[in-house]
Amino acid sequence: MTPQQKALDLVKSHFNFVSGWTEINRPDQSAAAQYEGAGMKVGRAIQCAIVTARECRDVANPLNDELQKQFWNGVINHLKEMIA
């Protein structure tokens, strides 16, 4: 699996667990106004994926440390490109 493939895999894994709803559901707004949409949900999934990739990089196996860190840095870089 390439870093790009892993980045997409992580985003897909997080997508169903993030909310597209605003943090503050105001009673004076309709439900449609409170929903931020799929674009915002994807952005949140990418942010969660970045956190996951950083954690994986930081606990890389000491026997294969440099290769794993390079892989996870590649994943993180690809995720950051997805945001831009």
Predicted model pTM: 0.77
The Cα angle at residue 35 between residues 31 and 37, in degrees rounded to 5:
145
CA atoms within 13 A on the CB side of 72: 19
What ranges do the domains of the chain cover?
3-83
**Residues 69-78: pLDDT tens digits?**
999 999 999 9
Helix, strand, coil tally for the chain in percent (to 5)? 70, 0, 25
Express each pLDDT in 9-57 by its tens digit: 999 999 888 876 555 555 555 555 555 667 778 888 999 999 999 999 9
